[in-house]
Chain A
């Protein structure tokens, strides 16, 4: 079980939320090349260690927020609404 700290709802079981994956900077769709755009769509760093990622509080306040999670231990630190 992973306990995720929602900024509004407090600590919740990860099953109540949705993990939206690691944060990636979105290229400007009007200027990005096809290759850049598809890299943004598909390529992931998928690190073993600390990752900055977005969660969606699906079963609660329905807000998106960012946390840092260690993908090896599932330890969590930091949290901010996004």
Chain B
């Protein structure tokens, strides 16, 4: 266990300003051991949150988080940083609401400013059926104590004056689901906070180390893998690790890792593109989402507009930007906010999404003993990160699936018991 890192505080800032001493590293680069109690594949938000809660809540610290790249280099650093809990299914609402409450206290819990801006969240309805879904979501939300209601176009205009709520547009705004507790968070800070917290507890964060295979014994598939088998460890580019528990937190690459254990997944990998404009004076006070127009937009504290969209229609592991995306995005954003037509895009990027058929995640135990999943995070992995880590850590520590994720097991696909969340998790339907 390392020395406790100095607390970040105003006093520490003054002291460092006066002494000009170096800030200590937020996490170490440890030598990899040849055995751990738990190996987590993927050092993104989910993997690091799981490691943090394993240590913080359950005292399990002989843990390695392994990543082929660097901390937070996948979806954790590429998402559009929106958090909310106004989902459609009761399972989804309870789950994401717990995540939101963890986000609210996170800056204190992790002693790092994650810049949570609770600015409210509008999901626009442009069609009667979309408006009906908003009413449905609002009622499900209210029943579970979530602040969520349907508002009319005039109230939308009051929330976000830059939106065109006239009837002369191609897709007039008929109303919106208003969710005041939603907002945006500095996504990198969340990852760094969990990495720092986990590292402080003694967890090993091992970067630039690729997992080449998962060792499984006694399974019914080829090479002893698959159902009925038992995990014995992983083979990496830096040698073998033996471990009784291996957790897959690899999002877009989830299928590749899971196939190594002989556990096929109901997942296809699609890129999701996002873009950001040059900064300008703050004019957009809330997060605005439009399912019909395939776009969500928020303004950062620096004044840049951040845009996200629906996933690219063709599944691929390639993360390049496309002209189709830029054209479509610009057209749709100007439909919503004609006033920003002179703004220029600063850059665009893309991340990989592990899409499931029902837009709910796949979490928990698998037919291979000791191999656990935390995948299928599609386009909603960031907002779920804290609760996914907390519930998965509980599942690992107690050997029993946590209540909040009991509907998200992989067996739901065999039983035909899907958790249809598309109405609240997707844009572009």
Interface residues of A (CB under 8 A from B): 1-2, 14-15, 18-19, 21, 34-35, 38-39, 41-48, 71-74
Contacts and interface: CB of A to CB of B under 8 A. Distances in A.
B200 to A, nearest CB: 35
Interface in B315-337: 315-318, 322-324
A65 to B, nearest CB: 15
A18 B313 CA distance: 8
Contact of B264 (A19, A45, A72): A45
Nearest to B322: A1
A82 to B, nearest CB: 18
A38 B414 CA distance: 6
B269 interface: yes
A42 B255 CA distance: 13
A5 to B, nearest CB: 15
A15 B313 CA distance: 8
A15 to B, nearest CB: 6
A59 to B, nearest CB: 13
Given A1-B324, A21-B268, A38-B414, A47 B316 contact: no
Given A38-B414, A71-B315, A74-B318, A46 B265 contact: yes
B413 interface: yes
Contacts of A19: 313-315
B141 to A, nearest CB: 28
12 contacts: A1-B324, A2-B314, A2-B316, A15-B313, A38-B416, A41-B413, A43-B264, A46-B268, A48-B256, A71-B316, A71-B317, A72-B317
Interface residues of B, number: 23
Given A1-B324, A43-B266, A72 B315 contact: no
Contact of B269 (A14, A18, A41, A46): A46
Contacts of B265: 43-44, 46
A23 B414 CA distance: 20
In order of increasing CB-CB distance, the 8 nearest A-B pairs are: A46-B255, A42-B266, A43-B264, A42-B413, A19-B314, A48-B317, A72-B317, A71-B316
Given A41-B357, A44-B255, 18 more contacts: A1-B322, A2-B316, A15-B313, A15-B324, A19-B313, A19-B314, A19-B315, A42-B266, A42-B413, A46-B265, A46-B267, A46-B268, A46-B269, A47-B255, A47-B259, A71-B317, A72-B318, A74-B314
Given A38-B413, A73-B318, A44 B264 contact: yes
Contacts of A14: 313-314
Contacts of B313: 14-15, 18-19
Contacts of B318: 71-74
A44 B356 CA distance: 10
Nearest to A42: B266
Interface in B147-187: none
B255, B266, B314, B318: residue with the most chain A Cβ atoms closer than 10 Å: B314
B315 A43 contact: no
Contacts of A47: 255-256, 259
Nearest to B318: A74
Nearest to A51: B315
Contacts of A18: 313
B315 A46 contact: yes
A18 B255 CA distance: 23
Interface in B125-147: none
A34 B414 CA distance: 8
A8 B390 CA distance: 53
A39 B322 CA distance: 33
A72 B269 CA distance: 11
